[in-house]
Amino acid sequence: MGSVLVFGASGQLGQCLAHVAGERKMDELVFLPEAEANILNPAGLRQLFARYQPTYAINCAAYTAVDKAEDEVDLARQVNRDGVANLSTLCAEYDTTLIHVSTDFVFAGTGNQPLLETDETAPISVYGLTKLEGEQVIPAHTSRYFILRTSWLYSEYANNFVKTMLRFGRERDELRVIWDQIGTPTYAIDLAGCILTIIGTQSQQYGTYHYSNEGVTSWYDFAVDIFELSNTTVKTTPIRTAEYPTKATRPAYSVMDKTKAKTQLGVAIPHWRESLKVCISRLPAQ
């Protein structure tokens, strides 16, 4: 197998890919520095593709500041749409398979049934809209792609909800956490494992897939479990979304159906609480 280029290597998922690749002894992954691997620089990207002749390109690069995107529409669109178009164009030219990470925010979140890949998309935020636009430009350039929509990503790396809750739990006596947004946490180590399984099996089951951990929860219940599993004592109070206004609107229900990933990609998906236990056990003692 040829090389695998990782874009967005310094982010949370990029670091998890490095961790899992190390465990699986997959030394073909190339973790590119951000300055060298700017997806908004077509000329620089072309040099990378010419140099490495990659078999796969994994795109973890994204504009993910959900609230800030409401004010930085152009920048969010450049990264989440135009950068993806740049990568897709070169993937087609170099016979490279693109693995692109997307989000549950492409859905409105107004339903109450687990979302299928074929369900109607209707983003309700700039972030969700620009991520959907990124999904849509890929098939216009290449047919060899995997789009993986994920949700509520966390790990022992970078900044995320789990680490924020643990920090707040140490610093505060009481926390108020939203209980009327329902979804599924995703341990980024598990998502990285799914991506590397696609590569390791050289799957040609191209298309769009949903990948989160199994199970359903709210942000409030997620926080309660974080505190329970980490032996953190803090009073936690459930609140409605309306009591915690944000610039961007979040989906109220974004549980995704993972049947397609399990059957066509052959991945086993742990329950979110089991993966949370693993993550917390790997975090340094507080």
CATH of the domain at 77: 3.40.50.720
Is 240 within the bounds of a domain?
A: no
Helix or strand (DSSP H, E) at 250: none
Q: Are 183 and 239 in contact (CB under 8 A)?
A: no
Residues 6 or more apart in contact with residue 230 via CB below 8 angstroms: 166, 169, 280, 283, 286
Q: Which domain holds residue 145?
A: 4-160+184-215+254-270
**Nearest to residue 141, comparing CAs of 45, 14, 66, 256?**
45
Is 196 within the bounds of a domain?
A: yes
Is 175 within the bounds of a domain?
A: no
How many CA atoms are closer than 13 Å to the CA of 42, on its beta-carbon side?
Answer: 9
Please count the structural domains in the chain.
1
C-alpha 42/C-alpha 25 separation (Å) is: 31
Is 227 within the bounds of a domain?
A: no
Is 75 within the bounds of a domain?
A: yes
The answer to pTM > 0.95 is: yes
**Is the confidence at residue 285, as pLDDT, over 70?**
no
Is 192 within the bounds of a domain?
A: yes
Is 279 within the bounds of a domain?
A: no
Instruction: Please give the structure tokens belonging to residue 153.
Output: 């990503």
Is 110 within the bounds of a domain?
A: yes
Residues that are catalytic: 127
In the chain, % of residues over pLDDT 70:
99
Averaged over 142-151, what is the pLDDT?
Answer: 98
pLDDT in tens, 185-243: 999 999 999 999 999 999 999 999 999 999 999 999 999 999 999 999 999 999 999 99
